Amino acid sequence: MIQKYIQSFNIFSEKEIQEAIPLFEYRKLEKYEFFAKEGRKCNELAFIESGIFHSFYSSLNGEEITLQISWENMMTSAYSSFITNKVSKENIQALTTSEIWVLKKNKIEELIEKQVNWSRFLRTLADEKYLEIEQRIFDSQLYSAKERYEDILVNCPSCLERVSLKYLASYLGVTQRHLSRIRKELATF
Partner 1 sequence: MINYFQTLVNFSPEEIIDLENIIQSKKVAKGNHLIREGKICDFIAYVQKGCLRCYFLKEDGTEMTDNFSFEDDFITDYHSYLTQSPSLQNTMALEDAELLILRKKDVESLYQKSLNFQELGRLMAENLYVFSYQRVQSLLTENAEEKYLRLIRQRPQLLNRVQHYYVASYLGISPETLSRIRKKIYVKETKKGKKMIKLST
Binding site for partner 1 (CB under 8 A): 57-60, 65, 67, 79-80, 83-84, 89, 116, 119-120, 122-123, 126-127, 129-131, 133-134, 136-138, 140-142, 173
CB 147, min distance to partner 1, A: 12
CB 22, min distance to partner 1, A: 24
- Other beta carbons within 10 Å of 116: 11
CB 14, min distance to partner 1, A: 21
Cβ atoms 43, 104 nearer than 8 A: yes
Please give the full DSSP string across 99-110, using - where no structure is assigned: EEEEEEHHHHHH
Q: What angle do CA 77, 23, 46 make, to 5 degrees?
A: 15
CB 3, min distance to partner 1, A: 23
Distance CA 150, CA 147 (A): 5
The nearer residue to partner 1, 134 or 185, going by C-beta atoms, is 134
The nearer residue to partner 1, 71 or 118, going by C-beta atoms, is 118
The nearer residue to partner 1, 99 or 150, going by C-beta atoms, is 150
The nearer residue to partner 1, 116 or 160, going by C-beta atoms, is 116
Cβ atoms 24, 2 nearer than 8 A: yes
User: Can you name the residues that pair with 29 across neighbouring β-strands?
Assistant: 98
